[in-house]
Structures are given as structure tokens and as C-alpha cells.
A = this chain, B = another copy of it.
Amino acid sequence: MIRAGIVGGTGYTGVELLRLLARHPQVELAAITSRKEAGMPVAEMFPSLRGHIDLAFSDPQQAGLDRCDVVFFATPNGIAMQQARELLAAGVRVIDLAADFRIRDLAVWQHWYGMEHACPELVAEAVYGLSEVNREQIRSARLVANPGCYPTVVQLGFLPLLEAGVADTGMLVADCKSGVSGAGRKTELPYLFAEASDNFKAYGASGHRHLPEIAQGLGRIVGKPVDLTFVPHLTPLIRGMHATLYMRVDRSVDVQALFEQRYVGEPFVDVMPPGSHPETRSVRGANTCRISWHRPQDGETVVVLAVIDNLVKGAAGQAVQNMNLMFGYAETLALEAPGLLP
């Protein structure tokens, strides 16, 4: 049994962590902080948790986070980097669901996130929490940088073919579609129901913060920079993220075999039979990444289709998966529920 704390529990990744941890047999929820909502019962803000979580939000200063075994940061970018050092010093292990420790190159990070990094020495120590890539390092990590949602689904989709060296990295395209919860519980105009419903659009087509994170991950695999075009779109789903990936792969390559071999034994990556089209709803509320691929007109272009729930495998679920690894629990503990379909 470990004690877990959550910093910033009022957003969607926060409430999703609460939903998952409330049912985790080895976790005692010790504290959930929110400066603004201190004193308010969590279940008053999120009635779905009535009867499941009795905690109230507490002020970060008085939450006793340093007495936790693990602290999750479900905060905006730039918060975890200010508090991680102190927590680690107190022996607390840290999982940051934001972007503070995802990018190795500080200059790149500072360019895309528009702030000075408060804690550069920890960037080097942090383990990038894509469990399917860094499982062993995560087990012993003090500080895990939980991947972004787009980077999770895009990397899992490209991995087998890039690792096998069969894809032409000179023109990779990642056309991605996200549900609206990916924007967070933020009261901004584009995310209003009357704006986002019955509407589809691209955004950030000229450049999006998740690009350098994806490029870093893919670049490490192939050992050199990749030429990646990444266009995110907003689609009227609450949850769900779909990546459609395009790349050149020689016709002789047995793509299905590469996918199956790469992900054999992975509890949260499901390679579908040839000809499949994964649906986002099939992973709604689940920690699964479901993948298939196509070779249209039997040509040189391979299309990979991959889906996740942006709040689960793309955020809170992957964080719990990492926590399970870090504390020696079964990797799937509290993450076994199938998707909610319909």
C-alpha cells in the first residue's frame, strides 16, 4: 500500500487519475491539492466520484505531499519543475503529466514552452514514461515524464517500422485527431459546445508543442532527425484520439509481423487483424492503444491507424501504468477495465 498525492486535481487528467486510483487496491489517496478550491470536497466538483472519494481539495502548502510515496502533477506546464526537486529530496517519487521533463534539449523546450526551465538538472535524470519503450528505466526512476497524448499514439504507431529500419524517414506524416477533453477543463471559446460540436477543424498546423516531443522520440530510434509533418485536428468527441500515419515502406516488408513481434506481450497495445479500422470508442476509458495498418492499392505507402483515449493511455492511465512499474505492482493493476462501448 502506497500513499499517493495529486497536485492540481481539478482538471480532466486530475479527475481521471482520481477515477483510476479510487479503485486501485494498493493506493491510498493521501492528498489532492488545488490552491483555488482548497476545502471543497472533490465529489462536489465531480459528482461521479460521490461515494468513491471523500477527500477535499487541500492547499498545496498544507497537503503533506512530502509524506507521500508518489506525487502526480496534473498541472499546467511549468509547475512540476518548481516543486519536483524538493519532493525528490524528501524521498517522494514524482510523475509529471505535464511537459516539464519531456524534452531533453532545454533550448528546444524553452522555445516551444516559452519559459525558462526552473530545474535543468532534473531534465537529464527524468525518464520518459512511454512504458513500451522505457519499461526498465521506469521501474527505478525517481522522476517520470509522462508522455503527451499525441506523442503516445504517434510513437506507438511508428515504432515497429522505424525500429526495424524499414520506413523512409524522409517524409513521415502524422495526421492526428483529438477529442475536446484533450484541451483540458479550460473555459476558452473554441472548446464551447456550441463552437466545437458538429464542427471539425485543424489547429496548430504550422507548429504544435507536441511536435518536438514526437520528433525526439522518433529521432532516437533511427539515430538521426526525421522529417515529420504533424497536423492535429479537433473533432467532436469528449475522449479519443486517432492517429493516421503515412510513410514509405518497401512492398516486401511483412508489416503485420513487425507489429505483432514488437508488441507481443504488451498488455496495453493491441495489434488488430489485417484490414481493421480501430475505433476511438473501443478504448473509451481504457488504457489500450489499438493499432492496425493498411497498404492502399498495394503501393509503397503504408498507413498506420492507431487510437487511444487521450485521458487514459494518453495521460492518467499511462501515469498509473508507470506508477505500477515504479512500485513493483502488476503493470495492469487498476487498469484492466475494458472500454465503455457504446
Contacts and interface: CB of A to CB of B under 8 A. Distances in A.
Interface of A: 12, 15, 19, 22-23, 46-52, 171, 173, 175, 177, 179-181, 183, 185-189, 191-203, 205-207, 211, 227, 229-231, 233, 235-240, 242, 244, 246, 248, 270, 272, 275-286, 288, 290, 294-297, 299, 301, 303, 305, 307, 311, 336-342
Nearest to A183: B194
A277 to B, nearest CB: 5
A55 B185 CA distance: 34
A207 B299 CA distance: 11
Contacts of A197: 180, 193, 197-198, 236, 238
B338 A201 contact: no
Nearest to A182: B194
B305 A205 contact: yes
Nearest to A276: B47
9 contacts: A23-B337, A183-B194, A197-B236, A200-B279, A201-B242, A201-B280, A233-B242, A246-B246, A285-B340
Q: Which 3 A-B pairs have the closest CB atoms?
A: A48-B339, A48-B341, A205-B294
Which one of A206, A227, A339, A341 has the greatest number of beta carbons of chain B within 10 Å? A341
A342 B12 contact: yes
Which one of A270, A279, A336 has the greatest number of beta carbons of chain B within 10 Å? A279
